[in-house]
Structure 1
Amino acid sequence: MEAGEGFPPSTDTPTDLGAHLRAAREAAGHSLAGMAALTHFSKPYLSLVETGRRQATPDIVERYEHALGIPIGTPADPVRRTHEWLLDNPPATGCLRAGRRIGASLIRTLEARVIDLRHLDDTVGSRTLFPVIRAELDHAEHLAHTASYTDTSGKRLYTVIGELAQLAGWVASDAGNYSDAQRLYLSGVTAADTAGDRALGAQLLSSLAYQITTIGKRDDALLIARSAVTGAPHASPLVRALLLERLAWAAARARDTDTTRRALDAVNDAYDQHADGIAEPEWVYWLNQTEIDVMAARCLIELGTPTSAEPLLTRALAAYNHDHTREVALYQTWLAEGHAKTGNLDAARAVLHRIDTTAIDAGSTRLHRRITAVNRLINRRTQKKKPANTNSTRRPTE
């Protein structure tokens, strides 16, 4: 998807979409039992979906598309889903399901696995990590649809699914698979709702807003980012700071200076409130003052004040863990852009030259896009600096 493209709204009813799924399955020559084996959903559950008696959630549609190799239906509208999320009360986790009973020990294993995968994203490339996360998500969703569990275990299981969907969406987006990422984020919102985890739902929507800020309609991204903040009023300090950061970035990209500056001030206020005695979800472990400074600098560059951004980025890069090569490289591209926009093109080129090539080769489309964009900026500014050719001669009149 190119910059500026959005996703069309979904017009299919549950019955329509279920019929599309059934038609696609039958056209491919698969029985319902065969499709259950391919998608890891139970045969009775898929029967309900195909007949419109159960909703075809984004993860089901994605699984059919992956198994059959064709697009089905129309992508969900993220703005509409955000409105639904704001207005709906989170449903309770459902009653016990038929099948193998799972208990707290397995849930703890799944929770620990999510943490391991999340931290691997700091150092492992997206192409390598995505299939591992996707397999873990498939396993958790299979358990949710086929196993039996208590309400307490069910909430924890759906929280795991929501967190895996967010992580898978983030990695897919980094690799440039934007449609897959959107489906994963929206399916994660459904899982977070089932778990009753409002903060996780906001995290998923703000992650989607971050993607749309880059490759979609910026007004939509700003609306979704703002809704994520509004819809989680009781979020912990670090979660609130993260949601506000993404709101600031969406506003900066939309050239809304007032909203950007208010959001950045609110980020600092929220971060100052965090303390050891306040519980925070593990997925916000990485947010610290260095990351906050980087986002503030990015917003300043976007709003046309790159001189103020340079010291923030220089200080942040000096303190950053250089084992996280992708993030270091991304932040170097912002420092290079800041130099280019202040007219210091030699410094901009020098920063780009220092980028670790292993980060470039890690499958991060996001990083490739940034390097390409900054190189183009440098080239444009270089052309503007070239003196006009005063030695040209006119061709003689024929």
Structure 2
Amino acid sequence: MGEKQPNERLTSWFVRSGWSKGELARQVNRRARQTGAHHVSTDTSRVRRWLDGEQPREPIPKILSELFSERFGSVVTVEDLGLRAVVPVTGAGEVDLPWSGAQTVQLISEYSRSDLMLNRRGFLGTSLALTAGSALIEPMQRWLAPGPSGTPTPILTAANGGEPHTGRLSGPELALLEQTTVMFRQWDAHNGGGLRRKAVVGQLHEVTDLLQETYPQETTRRLFRLTAELAHLAGWMSYDVGMHPSAQKYYVLALHAAKEAGDRPFGALILSDMSRQMIHLNRGEDALELIHLAQYGSRDTASPRTAALLYSMEARAYANLGEVNKCHRAARLAEDTFSDVRTGETEPDWITFFSEAELNAENAHSYRDLAYHSSRSPLYASMAAPVMERAVDLFRVDETHRRSYAFNLIGMASVHLLQEEPEAAAGLAHQAVDIAGKVRSERLNTRIRKTTDAALRRYPSVAEVQHLSDRITTALPEYAAAG
């Protein structure tokens, strides 16, 4: 058995915290008692062993993540600490929710309030588990089911009935709320999910308060659509900072709100991001089920841009599973369908992000992933290279999607590694690190670290790779801690 290596990441955070080993041990024990983990008993010698490379058992990694995050005022994930990042998987309890308007409002209100008030630093997700497999897919299939006898949902019926309307929200105020959601999306694309996540959750909670009142039916539908968009954005931002169970919870709640709004194309977008999360977690079968559900549910309502997005995500899922022919077919369908997008056509703001740059990025990553899963790696790397390069070129001139530019820089770096070009890979990764210092995206930081680790394993003697590794060891933790 190999000798344990010192945990340099944990050591870096520990040194900058200013705590002693004894103080950290006492804080771990205190937090464990607060959460009911009375079996945890830590001392200074145990902390020393963690720093020396020992992997603590659950729930200690989660506790350490919470303690360091509170110390530095931003999310410090288990992976940031050099510990094993394990996302617990459970049954359907967190996602098998009642499909009714009134209960959807109540659940979103309660969850967003808990996120804001009980977990002020954003740790609600650590108390949840990720739902996967049939326990996830079967409840999501109910998104397709019509209401009882095809009638409107109870909350909409009440709003449109003989009761007096109690809501005082004016048309201009509602339009301003919708514009604010657009602004939140722009912030996220430019600055990452960590910067405004709590602001989005707060806005979501305020909108659910508005839905406690009664309005004309069209106003109520708009409010449900707004609720769905905010809940989806809260889920996306949670995903971006590594809070996977919390992200999934918001996605599920967003899907419920989209159903109440009668907006199937937006529901398909939510399912596509749930699929993306499953790909990230290497659950390709779940990703494929979710994207097929999105395609089926929006087959008569999706615009060419939305349909192209869904095909591109289908290709990503097939690539994750190593399904070469099906991946190629879905990628071609994405390209063919995107060619039907008409310049200047008015579309909802939530789908405008899927540009030619995004199309190239998704298909390039599909080909790159095929290289990971196939013995014909050089072939698929050569297929990925020009498509990824096109995505990089397009994002370079798009100042509104800075995080996407960084993702494709590091994606291009991974392709160069497949092509045995470590110097070129390191150069692109340095550019991605430059951007990572300006955004708050743990997802981006993780991608950069993984690509750098892969480069260092294969090319430990290449000076450019060693320089990159040295830079990331000190740079990314500093960026993650920035307020």
- TM bin, normalised by shorter chain, reads 0.7 to 0.9
The 2-side partners of 1:11 and 1:4 are apart by 14
Deviations 1:292-323 (A, max 9, x none): 11111111110011112112222322232353
Asked if the contact 1:222–1:247 (Cα under 8 Å) also holds between the matched residues in 2, the reply is yes
Do the aligned partners of residues 303 and 346 (structure 1) sit closer, same or farther apart at CA in structure 2, a change above 3 Å counting?
same
Is 1:293–2:363 an aligned residue pair?
A: no
1:210 to 251, 261, 276: 276
The runs of 5 or more residues in structure 2 that have no matched partner are 1-77, 79-84, 372-379, 463-483
Do the aligned partners of residues 60 and 94 (structure 1) sit closer, same or farther apart at CA in structure 2, a change above 3 Å counting?
farther
Do the aligned partners of residues 8 and 262 (structure 1) sit closer, same or farther apart at CA in structure 2, a change above 3 Å counting?
same
1:187 counterpart residue number: 253
Deviation at 1:214, TM superposition (A): 0.6
2:410 to 301, 316, 333: 333
2:315 counterpart residue number: 248
1:60 to 110, 127, 147: 110
Do the aligned partners of residues 118 and 88 (structure 1) sit closer, same or farther apart at CA in structure 2, a change above 3 Å counting?
same
1:239 counterpart residue number: 306
**SS across alignment from 1:123:** helix
2:423 counterpart residue number: 346
The 1-side partners of 2:347 and 2:94 are apart by 38
The 2-side partners of 1:14 and 1:207 are apart by 19
Residue 313 of structure 2 aligns with an amino acid whose one-letter code is R
Is 1:200–2:266 an aligned residue pair?
A: yes
Residue 203 of structure 1 aligns with an amino acid whose one-letter code is L
The 1-side partners of 2:128 and 2:330 are apart by 37
The 1-side partners of 2:242 and 2:128 are apart by 22
Alpha-carbon RMSD across the aligned residues, in angstroms, is 2.9
Deviation at 1:203, TM superposition (A): 0.8
Do the aligned partners of residues 14 and 261 (structure 1) sit closer, same or farther apart at CA in structure 2, a change above 3 Å counting?
closer
Deviation at 1:277, TM superposition (A): 7.6
**SS across alignment from 1:188:** helix
Deviation at 1:383, TM superposition (A): 5.7
**88-97 or 297-306, which deviates more:** 88-97
Asked if the contact 1:61–1:72 (Cα under 8 Å) also holds between the matched residues in 2, the reply is no
1:85 to 126, 143, 167: 143
Asked if the contact 2:193–2:237 (Cα under 8 Å) also holds between the matched residues in 1, the reply is yes
Residue 206 of structure 1 aligns with an amino acid whose one-letter code is S
Is 1:156–2:222 an aligned residue pair?
A: yes
Residue 308 of structure 1 aligns with an amino acid whose one-letter code is M
| Count of residue pairs the alignment pairs up | 348
Deviation at 1:12, TM superposition (A): 10
Asked if the contact 1:59–1:187 (Cα under 8 Å) also holds between the matched residues in 2, the reply is no
The 2-side partners of 1:365 and 1:172 are apart by 10
**SS across alignment from 2:249:** helix
The 1-side partners of 2:460 and 2:423 are apart by 14
1:263 counterpart residue number: 330
Residue 377 of structure 1 aligns with an amino acid whose one-letter code is A
2:158 counterpart residue number: 95
The 1-side partners of 2:258 and 2:91 are apart by 24
The 2-side partners of 1:326 and 1:11 are apart by 30
**SS across alignment from 1:252:** helix
Deviations 1:111-134 (A, max 9, x none): 111112112222123222111211
Deviations 1:201-233 (A, max 9, x none): 111111111112112522111111111111110
Deviation at 1:361, TM superposition (A): 5.0
Deviation at 1:99, TM superposition (A): 3.8
Deviation at 1:342, TM superposition (A): 1.3
The 1-side partners of 2:341 and 2:96 are apart by 44
**TM-score in terms of structure 1 length:** 0.79
Asked if the contact 1:236–1:278 (Cα under 8 Å) also holds between the matched residues in 2, the reply is no
Asked if the contact 1:332–1:351 (Cα under 8 Å) also holds between the matched residues in 2, the reply is yes
Residue 95 of structure 1 aligns with an amino acid whose one-letter code is A
The 2-side partners of 1:165 and 1:14 are apart by 15
The 2-side partners of 1:12 and 1:265 are apart by 33
Do the aligned partners of residues 186 and 356 (structure 1) sit closer, same or farther apart at CA in structure 2, a change above 3 Å counting?
same
The 1-side partners of 2:129 and 2:458 are apart by 42
Deviations 1:10-31 (A, max 9, x none): 289989xxxxxxxxxxxxxxxx
1:27 counterpart residue number: none
Deviation at 1:142, TM superposition (A): 1.1
**SS across alignment from 2:203:** helix
The 2-side partners of 1:254 and 1:384 are apart by 33
Identity %: 24
The 1-side partners of 2:421 and 2:97 are apart by 56
Deviation at 1:57, TM superposition (A): 3.3
The runs of 5 or more residues in structure 1 that have no matched partner are 16-44, 386-398
Residue 356 of structure 2 aligns with an amino acid whose one-letter code is Q
1:10 counterpart residue number: 93
Deviations 1:230-268 (A, max 9, x none): 111021111111122222212211222232212111111
The 2-side partners of 1:247 and 1:117 are apart by 27
Asked if the contact 1:95–1:150 (Cα under 8 Å) also holds between the matched residues in 2, the reply is no
